[in-house]
Structure 1
Amino acid sequence: MAGVSAISAGVLLGLLLTQAVMCEEIPAANPAPEGADTPSSEETSEAALPPATIATQGQLLNVKVGDRLELPCEVENVDSGVVVWRKGAKALSNGPRIFSRSGHLKIEVKGRNYNLVISKARTDDKGQYTCLVEQENAVNITHTVTVTYPPTVDVQPLQDSTEIPKGDSFSVSCITTGEPEPSVTWKLKDELGNSRELPDFAGMRNITVEQLSRADAGEYHCVADNGVGEAVSSSVKIVVTFPPEVSETKSLFLTKVGGDASLQCVFSAYPPGEVQANWYRMDKAVDDAASADGFSKVEVGADERHAIQTDAQGSTITTTLTVRNVEETDLKKYECAIRNDKGAAEHKLELSAHAHPEKVHPAERHKEPQVYGVKMRVKSISPVKQYRIIYREINETHEGDAKEELLAGDEKDVVETENGVKVYERVYIIKNLRPLANYTIKMAAQNDYGWSRDTDMHRFSMEDPTKSAASGLQGGPTGSSMIFCRSNLLLLSNVLLCWLLAHAATHWPARLA
């Protein structure tokens, strides 16, 4: 037994020695340098990662209010850091987590993309947005966002209308918002509803109109446009106040004895206020009450033969004098006058039964020399019996003798009739006038009440009859002159040919002999 135990102990001792030798022969896989700390098993289990980079470039981005905008940020090796979005210095997100409570911002992660999404853009979303990867060496890009939105416009003063006296000045301001900044134009819509641009104020946000006139009254529209949505406008109405003024009023009213006549004056004033209208007849003066032109004013009041009616509508004031059963003593000059608390105005006019010839006009030119045509236009309430034409030659030193022509009236000359007044038109040709001479001409017309006043002088000059011939020669041959020239050329050619044949028959036989 003792022998068996000794053998067993020897076997065990041999096994221990053999294991010790084997352990000494196996080298260490990564021997640590002498004095170095031994790494833990967790630190040596993972390999080091490359740093993150951003593949996207910074951009300038535009978005309309209410639209969606996606700001891109593509990150390579995203696991090496944390993606953070900032607006200016304010942090918006950390990784996929968003800090904003507005509800219209979110982070969309698509593979390597950590994009910031603005679902419905607002005006305060404009600014600089930075995508940042936080790591040992941080990297970032920055996008600049512009939010565009339609223009708004207001004018100052804000009153619906402003009253300004004629001759004064006024200023209007135009306040606009919008991105991009709106351009500004001004339009004026006048009292008749006609609209026109005011190019002198283009691009101006503050305008001033000096020396205000009635034509400056109306609605001033400031129109703002920036290409986003529709252009918008705002307006203020400028009302020009002014005292009574004569408007477009006739100076002559035609009638006939025994009929009724209406004389009318039209004035303008704003505000019209309480208007007082008066009518006066201009009688020839018989005492010291005469005016400077030899007439005295006699007021005409309402009676059996006279009626006065005055109406005001807007800024227009119309006053009408009606004369019933006109007598010859009524055929005179009259004056209408109105007055309100701003001032007064008056206008002179005439009631007449005579014909009224208008200015003499040149008629169509005649090709004949020494001839000139005139066109006469006459208004008359009774038939025109005669036309009288007076013309004479004039020069720098004297006037020639007057020549008078009388033409019989003809109802065939009537071209139109308006309110009982006939309009006559007649053309007269004056012959045997001297070339290069200057002339004056005037005319009058006669009806049942006598001769009218003469028209204003009409002046004309006769041309040189040789001018047209000279210009014709310079301008090239006419058809007839061309035929004449060709005929002469053919005749000369034939004569020359005959002479050559005769010459040859005479001299050549002798030379041959």
Structure 2
Amino acid sequence: MNFGLNSIVGFLLCVKCYLNVAQVTQTNPILTFGSQTPPDVAIPPVLQLKTGDDVRIPCNTTAAAGKVTITWTHETGVFPSNVQQIGVDLVIMNAARVDSGIYLCHVNNSAGVAYKLLQVIVGEAAITGATSLIQPKVSLPDHKTVLYGENVTLNCHVTGSPTPSVLWLFKDRLINDDHMKQEGNKLHMTNATLKEDGTLTCVAKSLAGEVRGHMNVYVVGIMPVIDYMSESAYALVGSSVTFRCQASGIPKPHLYWYFISVTGEVGIPESNYQISPDHTRLTIHSAHHSGTVWCIARNSYGANNAKSYLWTRLPDLIG
């Protein structure tokens, strides 16, 4: 417990804070320097290989930009064993069917982010299997509101021939989040937090083309409400007194206690107070001064507070 006056002011003025943390997967970044222009990416949309082929695919960019990072990633987040990034190139040696899938080339600079997807198809059957080509189509809502802590499944409806591969991205990145997991066309979100607040992209890709659909996810909660605070109390100097506070909100708020005495002193000697494990009770073991007891409830969506007064008096003198 911190009884600093600055901390009190900080908690009392606390407003909604968001914690959106971008997910980044980087492999062998390439850095250059130059002018600040938005990046662009040029790679082939589809690459058809025969088993045993060796190939290098450069990730070309128009950005001669400030600080440029060029990164290849695989849809699973891990390259197959015979695939690697060398310089700006994606290198596949002795191609096998396991190398089939979607690869992403990301280009970052201070002016922005761009990415393109490459579908790699290995094997004669994959090359000749499609008898007709129908452009993929994607259908999904433009937004979804999710309650903090909620579990939800998002479905990307996709059509086309051949059957498109589907890849979900979060903030234009491969999903690398314990709370999100792709299963086919579906994306499962568990125990949503503010970290999952942002833009999801469903990419449908096949030999017939590529289509992207976007969904904005809003993770909402409820700022704390003080449900109960002990009434002001009178106590003899040297006696023990307990204050209780309960609050609700989504996510469950954390409680903090502060004491300001009438003499202007902030806090109580640590040896003289105890806070219960759930922070709902403050016990002052030996009251010495009158003052204000503050209970502050805080979560990711804001803060609220309540106060009571402690009045101390000397014992009555007899005789």
TM > 0.5: no
More helix by share: 1
Q: Which of the pair has the greater relative contact order for Cα pairs under 8 Å at 6+ separation?
A: 2
Q: Normalising to structure 2: TM-score of the pair? A: 0.32
